[in-house]
Amino acid sequence: MNDKAKETRKQNRLEKLGNNHPVCVICGEDSWQCLEQHHIAGKDYSNDLCNICRNCHRKLSDDQNDHPKQISQPPTSLETIGHMLIGLADFFALLVERLREYGLQLIQAAKDSAGKA
């Protein structure tokens, strides 16, 4: 195994992600090999990015396929803002699912620990 090559890949990825300790802002994945940057509004509308894991990225990118098609080239400010809001809505919907899951896990843990007392 080439440790130097792996370290170089890691440093290049961390530089691209813009953080020495990146984490998926949706699910908490923190392996640098699994993280990517997502264009919240879509590449054609904004360069605003967030670090997310490949699984969450695939879900959000798939949702973007259902967004309205581009009206003008370049897009107007109103169109760009509209796509940003839709992208944020997709992002928050995925985050809500994760928060609900974590909440239920915590409640189950509380039940389990109450049963042991």
Task: pLDDT band for 117, please (50, 70, 90 cuts).
Answer: low
C-alpha angle 16/49/51, rounded to 5°? 60
Please name which of 35, 40, 29 lies closest in space to residue 51, comparing C-alpha atoms: 35
Helix (H, G, I), strand (E, B) or coil at 93: helix
Q: Compute the average pLDDT of residues 63-92.
A: 96
* Rounded alpha-carbon distances, angstroms, from residue 72 to 43, 78, 86, 108: 14, 11, 18, 50
Predicted TM-score (pTM) of the model is 0.84
